[in-house]
Amino acid sequence: MIVRFAKENELTKINELRKQLHEIHTEGKPEVFKSGFPDELRDHIYTIWNDPEQEIVVADCDGSICGFVVLNHILKPETPYMYERDYLDIDEFCVDKAYRRQNVATKMISFIKDYARDQGFGRIELNMWEFNCEALDFYEAVGFHTYRRYMEMDL
């Protein structure tokens, strides 16, 4: 298995994984995420592909795309409250159901860390939904820790 940047002719396969990921979100937070995988969401992969601030990384398991990640370079200007923030954000992250618990995601994180260091980033961030305990277990297993929380109250 190798981890590398995606090729344009792989975007359709990547969309199959984006669909799996979206289903997890629609099941876990149905009041927030729209169900289904409409054309607009499918075609959003081309917006990502064409954005110079974003990169798509894939795990290639013997010629089959078994995982993908979307990376986004975020630059938040200084405000009266905060210093400028410049970091690499992990936006979408999914390993194909058939390939989970085989270290695919761990290898993608290693690739991302090397890339982030090469690009001069001082930190990697991501946000995730609280219902997704498996993702939290994974992110903590590879060294992420929580530094901020979103809270809600149903009325």
Sites of contact with ligand COA (CB under 6 A): 21, 24, 93-95, 100-106, 128, 132, 134-135, 137-138, 141
Residue 51 or 134: which CB sits closer to ligand COA?
Answer: 134
Residue 55 or 96: which CB sits closer to ligand COA?
Answer: 96
Nearest approach in angstroms of CB 25 to ligand COA is 8
Nearest approach in angstroms of CB 78 to ligand COA is 28
Residue 26 or 102: which CB sits closer to ligand COA?
Answer: 102
- 57, two tokens: 């990384």
Would you say 104 and 61 are in contact if contact means Cβ atoms under 8 Å apart? yes
Best CA proximity match to 22, nearest among 94, 123, 88, 98: 94
Q: Which residue is nearest to ligand COA (CB)?
A: 105
Please work out, in degrees rounded to the nearest 5, the angle formed at the alpha carbon of residue 96 by the alpha carbons of 110 and 40: 105
| d(C-alpha 109, C-alpha 77), whole Å | 27
Nearest approach in angstroms of CB 15 to ligand COA is 14
- 4, two tokens: 């590398």
Nearest approach in angstroms of CB 128 to ligand COA is 4
| d(C-alpha 110, C-alpha 124), whole Å | 12
| d(C-alpha 133, C-alpha 112), whole Å | 22
Residue 24 or 73: which CB sits closer to ligand COA?
Answer: 24
